Structure 1
């Protein structure tokens, strides 16, 4: 396993199909915590070649790869003493069920039916790479809004966090366009503080609100922690 210069985190090499990589791009914070380096495989045979040459932590493959299907890639991988320990996640059709059965018989770690949701893929990726997945549990967020001389504070909870912003579930109906001061903890000693602009407020069926907040002028130190 490679080490990232200047970082204690090992570089985790992941062989991935192009379509799956596109679904992961909206979650850059998860990928940064994993310290992932992706190697694109455009065919099943290329996935096998990359697996043999790069010692990857994981393979993320579409079922219908050219040359070799993902279940065939998995079967050959598991037959190799050197490569058999590499987990393989396959994304493929829900029907017919024989597709999934073939992949599981080949030894895949997971089979996700299409259309795959990032809400299913992200926690699976975190688990297989040995990461704490922040998207699995909502973290408390303190929101402060100043109205003239009055400071209004509200406690919300979030599970969607990236460098661009944060989505918070709150009982308070905030106004779009307002600026808010945010304070939340990521498990470190000092909480994260940030300035944000409310860009979206949507009522939920439970009677509260999903509040979309865009970070404004995020300091470099805070960006690193996220």
Structure 2
């Protein structure tokens, strides 16, 4: 059976606060969020709306999260992605959800960015915890011998898009040095997530993710992004 034209995400009210940060992002991506206060409410909503995903608290008023997941997976075609937020202990809760077919079990309280990142992966969209700013600065790489890598197209606290003639493979770890104007280089450790051709001839676009930098480097990166340096 085909789903309705609108893409619905159902969530239980006891986890709604974790998605407040991403509600506008999900709406812009074409999704509608609908909440239910109890297990029966969620099942009734699911029967009417046939959601693409459900985000549930494990402890509902009447039916446990694992049982809701089991019913959603059995009664809807195609079945929605189901993420459950629940306690770390006892471990039986996570096990019951796994046996019921839940796609993810996240310990409560879950960090909102982590929940949105995992949910987005099942929706086929990309959620960035840190928004990127268009910013062009030169970048080199190398631990001892430094080689010019290219220029950033955009930059954030979490990563960058770099235009480069080089083509390192996805998964390659790099020690980057970002040069804001004529100031001392900012060193950041990163991993290459993707490589794709640039519109410019013989150039590549490297999507890199930064590893968490030490506090002084993070402070300088924030200053760079805010225009203070």
Q: Please give the TM-score of this superposition, normalised by the length of structure 2.
A: 0.58
1:99 pairs with one of 68, 93, 103: 93
Partners of 2:221 and 2:7 in 1: CA distance = 34
> Would the alpha carbon gap of residues 32 and 66 (structure 1) be closer, same or farther in structure 2, given more than 3 Å must change?
same
1:89 pairs with one of 83, 94, 97: 83
The residue aligned with 2:57 is 62
Residue pair 1:126, 1:133 contacting (<8 A) in 2 also: yes
Unaligned runs of 5+ in 1: 4-10, 145-154, 161-169, 173-202, 215-226
> Would the alpha carbon gap of residues 97 and 171 (structure 1) be closer, same or farther in structure 2, given more than 3 Å must change?
farther
Helix, strand or coil for the counterpart of 1:26?
helix
1:31 shift after superposition: 1.3
Residue pair 1:60, 1:88 contacting (<8 A) in 2 also: yes
The residue aligned with 1:52 is 47
Task: Return structure 1 stretches of 4+ with deviation > 6 angstroms.
Answer: none
The residue aligned with 1:157 is 155
The residue aligned with 2:222 is 211
> Would the alpha carbon gap of residues 31 and 171 (structure 1) be closer, same or farther in structure 2, given more than 3 Å must change?
farther
1:12-36 CA distances to partner (integer Å, 9 max, x unpaired)?
2011022322222223453134322
> Would the alpha carbon gap of residues 29 and 141 (structure 1) be closer, same or farther in structure 2, given more than 3 Å must change?
farther
CA RMSD of aligned residues (A): 3.4
The residue aligned with 1:116 is 110
Helix, strand or coil for the counterpart of 2:59?
coil
Helix, strand or coil for the counterpart of 1:61?
strand
Partners of 2:105 and 2:23 in 1: CA distance = 23
Residue pair 1:13, 1:39 contacting (<8 A) in 2 also: yes
Number of matched pairs: 160
The residue aligned with 1:77 is 72
1:142 paired with 2:153, answer no
> Would the alpha carbon gap of residues 30 and 50 (structure 1) be closer, same or farther in structure 2, given more than 3 Å must change?
same
Partners of 2:134 and 2:214 in 1: CA distance = 18
1:60-103 CA distances to partner (integer Å, 9 max, x unpaired)?
100000110111111222332x3561121100001110000000
